[in-house]
Amino acid sequence: MVLAGLLLLSGCTSIQQKNKFGDFEQAIVDGRTLDAMALAELGADIDETTGEADDLLWSLQAAALMRQEKIYSKSNRLFDSAEAKMKGEDTKHLLLQGAELAGSMLLNDSITSYQQSQYDGVMVNTYKALNFMAEGDYANARIEWNRTEDRQRRAAEHFAKKITAQQEELAKEEEKVDQENINRSLEAASPLLQEQGVDLSQWNAYEGYVNPFATYLHGLYFMLKAQDKSDYSKARDSFKRVYGLTRNADVKVDMNMANSLLQGRNINKHKPAVWVVFENGLGAKKEEFRIDLPLFVLTSNVSYSGIALPKLVERSPAYSNLQIGRIKTRPLANMDRIIQAEFKSEFPYILSREVIRATLKTVAQKQVQDKSPLLGMVAGIAQAASTGADIRGWTTLPKEWQLARINRPNNGKLKITAPELSLPLEVELDANSRFHLVYVKAAAPLQQPEIEVINL
């Protein structure tokens, strides 16, 4: 009965997870940013004295919303706390990690610590850099852009190591069950997954698992805040990589500009310019689905033997594009694609673990059933309650980023429109600056965009 109690407790945890994310997302979609931020801060469990958060995922959610509300210092303190926790997760003692994984095999993955994605780390440093730039702290922004690029440089290596570690972990878990039965169950899963619309075959990462948005802004920073020729070289290389991935015409213009600066042309010889970056919509999120998967291990004389898995669900863009005069923003980077690619690399591991977990639970359930049908029924109910998918993820990240590069208007005023926007957005540029980054964010359709102007 203690086991049944633990299983039911795990089921409650899974339900709470879904409810918490549902309330949070609804606040975001409704444009109630402050309500969403309050929920995220509550989930992050922030220490009032140190400003550090206890929960990694909710600290990411809260910090992103603070950035949107231009609470830059507090946002970066939370991002710092999140980054420290990421390092802690990466270096967690193997015995502790093993105990956590063993517990999750008995219950479900939602009881484990949140395992950050590679793109989480990249976006932490990217947002921190933008926060520092908005505050005019370009020295610390430089540090964050260097960290961002270092994360991206190590991305492919990271995935190779992670896949190897997952395979080793699965091999240990498979020793507890009959491998032939597991293989037959996995084969049976394929058509059932297709019925649920789970088809990962079309999802492909950007080459090298790069986030073109982060790499592009890395280039823009080093071009406009260069200290020597090596910075121009960094900028050109970043733009070159992004152009190779996206074929965005504005990126090509920047690549040519960085190349001319590298060759010795003075930056003041270039026309004053404005870069409009549009952070559009909300990225793909995880939702749970269940299937009754045949488990080829014992008789059918059990109450429950299903599995629960996460699947990615795309969300709508807020606007089709932005327009500045006759110029429209064009796609720069697709966060959905980045999320999908990482999910694709994780899914075989998630599926195998869930099949092994269900097999272990069902074997235990049958053993109880053989001794007492009543207790077997209770065990079956507990197994159903504890079966849940881990749907956690950084859900405030956007669906995509778009870009438009324009000459700075002579009057220093920018008018931004959109087909779905009833009134234009008016932006006044600092007369003392020649270059400007205008960062526009809209999370959901019909939502009034937020505007941030960084003078460069």
Check pLDDT > 90 for residue 268: yes
Residue range 294-302: mean pLDDT, rounded: 53
The neighbouring-strand residues paired with 331 are 402
Confidence (pLDDT) at 1: 45
For residue 216, give the 3-state DSSP assignment: helix
Instruction: Report the run of H or E that residue 213 belongs to, with start and end.
Output: helix 212-224
Kindly list the distances between the CA atom of residue 193 and the CA atoms of 180, 186, 230, 359, in Å, as whole numbers in the listed order.
Answer: 20, 10, 50, 18
Question: Given strand 400-407, what is the order of strands in its sheet?
Answer: 330-334, 400-407, 273-280, 435-442, 450-455
Give the pLDDT of residue 7: 47
- pLDDT tens, 167-219? 888 888 777 776 777 777 777 777 878 888 888 888 999 998 999 999 999 99
Indicate the pLDDT class of residue 295, thresholds 50, 70 and 90. Answer: low
pLDDT band at 95 (very low <50, low <70, confident <90, very high): very low
Lowest-confidence segment of 151-155, 295-299, 326-330 by average pLDDT: 295-299
Any residues with CB less than 8 A from the CB of 19 and at least 6 apart, and which? none
DSSP 3-state of 431: coil
Share of the chain above pLDDT 70, in %: 85
pLDDT higher than 60, residue 160: yes
Closest to 354 in 3D by CA, of 170, 194, 178, 180: 170
CB-CB contact of 432 with 350 (8 Å): no
What are 389-402's pLDDT values in tens digits? 899 999 999 999 99
Q: Tell me, what's the pLDDT at 137?
A: 97
| pLDDT at position 91 | 60
According to the model, what pLDDT value does residue 180 have?
72
